[in-house]
């Protein structure tokens, strides 16, 4: 068994939405380290996207500005990818949004923005890229689609982010249903559920990592290596038999947190 080839992404073409910062940028770094020939990133903020491209190299990372909260943006991104590539081996649906408001004040606008970008966009963008993904899976390996969910779709958090938590739970079930259909085309769909990783989506882990770490069984927040390793595993030959699964990468928050019996009246 050749361990190097087992985790290699040599020569593959990938697209990471929201790939200019945070967890998306961690995915980009991992894909490049594993051998991807070209990684495309999409983002709304062009300047930030250009900074990421300059950091990793203009010969390997390519940016396509896109507002993926709108169907027109998804179609435009898919069309631009088709102009540039004959196939797509890896799609990571990472772009997302969060919205927090008290229950009695929670707005319809916040609900729509969160649910649309977190649930509708992964489905329809994958649909619009279907032909490229089919071409990616027509070679000697399956194409891979990874939806980025969250541990907030697996357990309740203390914040009033109703649409976010509902959307991430929906992504986990959507992953299973899409996996059942797309495996017919040699496209494997899976999901990654991150815990506390420093990003704009998790400002607590970014600005106060020690406080966040105190609540995590592993006693630290996630690193770029943790997230990159999860993506490399699922995208490479190592993950070819993992279909419809959600890989939880959270230091044990969901599955290894013990209740505080001193503060729990049921304890």
- Residue numbers annotated as active site: 164
Alpha carbon separation from 59 to 3, 12, 27, 36, 63 (Å, rounded): 27, 14, 17, 12, 11
Structure tokens at 162: 């109703």
Cβ-based neighbours of 255, under 8 Å, separated by 6 or more: 248
Separation CA 57–CA 61 (nearest Å): 6
CA atoms within 13 A on the CB side of 46: 3
Contact 167, 264 (CB under 8 A): no
Helix, strand or coil for residue 62?
strand
């Amino acid at each position: 068994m050749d361990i190097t080839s087992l985790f290699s992404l040599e020569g593959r073409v990938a697209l990471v939405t929201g790939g200019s910062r945070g967890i998306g940028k961690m995915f980009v770094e991992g894909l490049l380290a594993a051998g991807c020939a070209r990684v495309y990133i999409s983002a709304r903020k062009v300047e930030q996207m250009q900074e990421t491209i300059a950091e990793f190299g203009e010969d390997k990372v390519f940016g396509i500005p896109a507002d993926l909260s709108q169907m027109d943006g998804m179609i435009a991104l898919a069309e631009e990818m088709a102009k540039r590539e004959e196939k797509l081996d890896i799609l990571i649906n990472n772009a997302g949004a969060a919205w927090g408001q008290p229950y009695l004040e929670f707005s319809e606008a916040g609900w729509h923005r969160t649910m649309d970008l977190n649930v509708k966009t992964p489905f329809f963008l994958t649909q619009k890229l279907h032909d490229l993904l089919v071409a990616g899976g027509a070679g000697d390996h399956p194409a891979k689609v990874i939806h980025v969910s969250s541990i907030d779709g697996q357990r309740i958090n203390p914040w009033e982010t109703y649409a976010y938590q509902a959307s991430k739970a929906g992504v986990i079930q959507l992953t299973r249903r899409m996996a059942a259909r797309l495996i017919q085309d040699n496209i494997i769909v899976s999901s990654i559920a991150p815990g506390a990783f420093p990003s704009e989506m998790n400002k607590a882990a970014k600005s106060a990592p020690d406080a966040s770490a105190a609540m995590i069984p592993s006693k630290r927040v996630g690193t770029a290596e943790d997230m990159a390793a999860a993506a490399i595993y699922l995208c490479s030959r190592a993950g070819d038999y993992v279909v419809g699964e959600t890989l939880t990468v959270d230091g044990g928050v969901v599955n290894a947190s013990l209740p505080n019996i001193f503060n729990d009246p049921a304890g």
